[in-house]
Amino acid sequence: MKILAVIGSPRNNGNTYEAVKLIEDELNIKNPGIEFEYVQLGSANLKPCKGCFTCIERGEEKCPLKDGRETLEFKMQQADGVIFASPVYTYNVSWIMKNFLDRFAYRCHRPDFHGKKAMVVVSTGAVGLGFVAALLSLSLGTMGFITCAKLGVTFPPAHERNDTRLKKEMNKLVRKTEMFYERLLDTKPEKPSFIKLLQFVKQKRAYSKAPKDLADFKFWRDKGWLAETTDYYYEVRAGKMIKLLVYIISKLTRCAG
Ligand SMILES: Cc1cc2nc3c(=O)[nH]c(=O)nc-3n(C[C@H](O)[C@H](O)[C@H](O)COP(=O)(O)O)c2cc1C
């Protein structure tokens, strides 16, 4: 089993890395055969997104930035599970984690990580764990990742640290790692939520009307997702009532937001 850890802290061996290292130790106890690989975005060859829209409109292979993006995507595709970790910097993910998300924004249009299990790890000094983990998980979910566990780790200032707090944090880490590992072992295709079914229908409608030379149109067409009978990225058994409800709500929310 291969696990890739994408560490989004500019401090390569900072708190975020430290938390993920503990997760690696826990996973190794469960399965010593696990292959673990780290990508430290702080020193990865990933240039800042220029916002030129080339990847979205014409295809990621046309991106003018020649760097390690393609290799990183390949590593994510090859992994059985990916840990995405970021510190809370000013109530948000770090800028390098945000740049990583922007560089893979085309995957929100052309999701290609379906069924890929993810764990989201956020480290903080005090606040922001919940919504930063939710933000990260939302973007990854649009790319197709399934967040199996969200872990928030607090690294308080030295004078606030004590054994009870440390033990509590460690127990949480062990519990969330276990949750992630159990989901990694479960190979059944994920049953999509109502929101995910709705997202599929809305994207399908948008891309079926897109110009035929647009990368999104070509990708969705080639995947067979624009076919009338396709309800989701992969075969699902959604009931007729659910399908009807998804259809109605997708129509009603056409102009919303
Ligand atoms: C620029 C910057 C902004 C930060 N913003 C917050 C914040 O909004 N809330 C918070 O509780 N901690 C904040 N922190 C503390 C970090 O979240 C915390 O120390 C984290 O564990 C650092 O992880 P790292 O060593 O991997 O970078 C901030 C730290 C830095 C350097």
127 lines ligand 1 (CB under 6 A): yes
Q: Taking the domains of the chain in order of start, what are their residue ranges? A: 2-185, 194-252
- For range 185-210, the mean pLDDT: 92
pLDDT at 255: 53
In the chain, the percentage of residues whose pLDDT exceeds 70 is 98
Mutation test residue for ligand 1: of 12, 88, 96, 132, the one with most atoms within 8 Å of CB: 88
Q: How far apart are CA 158 and CA 233, in angstroms?
A: 48
User: Is the pLDDT at 240 greater than 90, yes or no?
Assistant: no
Q: How far apart are CA 129 and CA 92, in angstroms?
A: 9
User: Is the pLDDT at 79 greater than 70, yes or no?
Assistant: yes
User: Is the pLDDT at 238 greater than 80, yes or no?
Assistant: no
- For range 63-75, the mean pLDDT: 97
Between the alpha carbon of residue 87 and those of residues 11, 118, 153, 202, the distances in Å are 10, 17, 9, 33
What is the Å distance from ligand 1's center to 127 Cα? 9
The pLDDT tens digits for 17-64 are: 999 999 999 999 999 999 999 999 999 999 999 999 999 999 999 999
The pLDDT tens digits for 247-256 are: 888 888 765 4
Closest among 220, 15, 4 to 109, alpha carbons compared = 220
Nearest CA to ligand 1 atom 3: 89
Class of domain 2-185: alpha beta
User: Is the pLDDT at 257 greater than 70, yes or no?
Assistant: no
Q: Indicate which atom in ligand 1 lies nearest the CA of residue 10.
A: 27
What is the Å distance from ligand 1's center to 214 Cα? 40
What is the Å distance from ligand 1's center to 154 Cα? 10
Query: 222 or 235, which is more confident?
Result: 222
